[in-house]
Amino acid sequence: MPVNDGPVVAEIHDGSVAIGGRPILRGIDLSVRRGEVVALLGANGSGKSTLVRSLMGLVPLSRGEVALFGTPLSQFRAWRRIGFVPQRVSATSGVPASVWEVVSSGRLSRRPFLRPLRKADKAAVRNAIGAVGLTERAHDGCSTLSGGQQQRALIARALAGEPELFVLDEPTAGVDLQSQQAFADALAGLVEQGATIILVAHELGPMAALVDRTVVMRDGRIAYDGPPLASVEELEHGWADHGHHHPELQARYSDHTPTVASPIDAPPREQRP
Amino acid sequence: MSLLTYDFVVLALVAALFTGLAAPAVGTYLVQRRLALMGDGIGHIAVTGIALGLLTGTSPTITAVVVATLGAILIEVIREKGRANGDVALALLFYGGIAGGVLLIGLGGQSASTLNSYLFGSILSLSAVDVWTTVVLAVVVVVVAVGLSPQLFAVAQDQEFAKVAGLNVRFYNILVAVMAAVTVTIAMRTVGLLLVSALMVVPVATSQQLTRGFRSTLVTAMGLGTLASLGGVLVSAYVDVAPGATTVLIALAGFALAWPLGVMVRRRQRMQAPFAITPDGAYDGEHTVVPEEHAHEHGEDCGHLAVPHGDHVDYVHDGHRHAPHGSHYDEH
């Protein structure tokens, strides 16, 4: 892991989350320093989404504490320093909304109350839309965009607030390759400017080159925290470009747990017929 | 316009103007949350409020505002708890509201016709005080709905994002619920409790046929709502028909006109959307000349749909895409 002794930007200590009485996260300790690009990997149900949602204060902790920029979550008010891209597939709602309108809601944490968009706000919105390559679609309705373009609009919304910490929850799930590349480029620009990024993902795809730390979640605990891995399967297989899944391997999995034991275990290739 | 010399017509027009502005303004946020029928539910609950007012001899408008607001907040709380059977809980509340109202009206010895003026509106019998109350409440609703539109939009669009942006999501949700309750009670005198939801939702549905953005939808819906409610009062002043029902039918007629237009516009946009450029630039890698005889030249007015494709234009010809290439056409 590259040495990074910058200030801690996001921190969770002994974090536990229970939803409906069932423990989802157990004893999580994680701190992210300024300038780090952290990929949070894990199977469905491993708790990676819950972890970032608890960092953002969207899920209450049943134990432990979260601090953002050194301030305990309950006293944290500087939300303008955070850009969040929630996990979802659509930027549409019951009423049409243009890309410009959706992206400008990313400026809300910076705008004075009841004041129209100022020049700086407009410039930030324009830049954010440009960074994800949607300039030509800025005034089109979100519902006319493809799924990948809608996700890009949601990224632009987080970009528009010019935050220092980006938290992205599965931004590329089900997104076309062209959009994934547009994301990766937008994120690369941020990394250059020194932003901190926490990225929840299934597969990193074109974003893999940016990541400098990987955290793998397994069954509500951190199973691996260290130098980058392209995907959870790399832990499983020991090689990155395998390209497909093995049904017999998956059949061996328990209900929601990938068989990630630890990175020093022998890759399970030999065990296969 | 000799009718305008009658005070009750002028009062009715003023009430209609402000109701027509306020109802779609709130309705836009309800439709955005996919809660189009919430206005209807609040209307049901308000019946209990009216009955309470009639029973206790206080102003039914005031008791209706109070009961409808409490009901709307309860709906919002049930929704926030996110129970899977949330709609069933809402149904219980709606029907509890209307049944309670009918029961209380009976207890108070009032006839059904008293209730009728609230269920279907009685805009031509409004007093000056009624109209001023309507105007003040409607102005408050419109100012909040338009002035706080960036916040309300963000919260309705994506609650989690709004929360991380530092907005008090619960406050804005309850604000919308309270605005909806206030709007329902001011509109009950003009279009009636059973029809108020139509004035909140139909203009929004009409305007979104033709708009692409949220703000334009909001403003157009408010304009359409005003036109419909003013039209309803004017028509009923000349012809002997119920103003509330006329208002709603005018609004629906607007939707019937806009809908086919919207379908056409959207279809056109979809057809003219540029074809995707494949990252490896497949269209100059594979070179397939159009095999059949090509008698005419594709151009501005050739009658074939022209769709941008990267740096050139493809013409849609019998389900194929023809791209001009020097003296011939390529299949793209």
Each residue's pLDDT expressed in tens, for chain B with a length of 332 residues: 567 778 888 899 999 999 999 999 999 999 998 888 888 899 999 999 999 988 888 888 889 999 999 999 988 888 877 665 567 777 888 889 989 998 988 887 777 777 888 888 888 888 888 899 899 999 999 999 999 999 999 999 888 899 999 899 999 999 999 999 999 998 888 888 888 899 999 999 999 998 989 999 999 999 999 999 999 999 988 888 888 899 999 999 999 999 999 998 888 877 877 776 665 544 555 567 776 666 677 777 777 888 877 778 888 887 788 888 777 888 87
* Radius of gyration from C-alpha coordinates of chain B: 26
**How close A91 gets to chain B, by Cα (Å)?**
8
**Structure-token pair, residue B3:** 């009718």
Least confident piece of the model among A161-165, A237-241, B122-126, B170-174: A237-241
The partner residues of A169 in beta bridges, in order of sequence, read A200
CA-nearest of A118, A85, A114 to A102 is A85
Backbone φ, ψ for residue A232 (5° rounding): -60, -35
Say what the pLDDT of residue B151 is: 93
Judged by a CB distance cut-off of 8 A, whether residue B154 touches chain A is: yes
Judged by a CB distance cut-off of 8 A, whether residue A147 touches chain B is: no
Judged by a CB distance cut-off of 8 A, whether residue B219 touches chain A is: no
> How far apart are the C-alpha atoms of B35 and A224, rounded to whole Å?
44
Judged by a CB distance cut-off of 8 A, whether residue B158 touches chain A is: yes
> How far apart are the C-alpha atoms of A244 and B211, rounded to whole Å?
44
User: With an 8 Å Cβ cutoff, are B165 and A86 in contact?
Assistant: no
Nearest to A95 among B161, B204, B279 (CB): B204
The residue of chain A with its CA nearest to that of B36 is A94
Judged by a CB distance cut-off of 8 A, whether residue B208 touches chain A is: yes
Angle at B329 between CA B325 and CA B332, to 5 degrees: 95
Is ipTM > 0.85 here? no
pTM attached to this predicted model:
0.82
Say what the pLDDT of residue A115 is: 79
Judged by a CB distance cut-off of 8 A, whether residue A173 touches chain B is: no
The residue of chain B with its CA nearest to that of A158 is B161
Nearest to A95 among B31, B167, B279 (CB): B31
The predicted model gives A132-142 an average pLDDT of 86
Residues 3-42 of A with CB under 8 A from B: none
Say what the pLDDT of residue B33 is: 87
Say what the pLDDT of residue A230 is: 57
> How far apart are the C-alpha atoms of A236 and A82, rounded to whole Å?
33
The pLDDT tens digits for A189-209 are: 888 888 899 999 877 878 888
Say what the pLDDT of residue B145 is: 95
The residue of chain B with its CA nearest to that of A76 is B166
Predicted confidence band of residue A12 (pLDDT cuts 50, 70, 90): very high
Nearest to A109 among B147, B157, B166 (CB): B166
User: With an 8 Å Cβ cutoff, are B214 and A100 in contact?
Assistant: no
Average pLDDT, chain A: 79
Please indicate whether residue A250 or residue B257 has the higher confidence score (pLDDT): B257
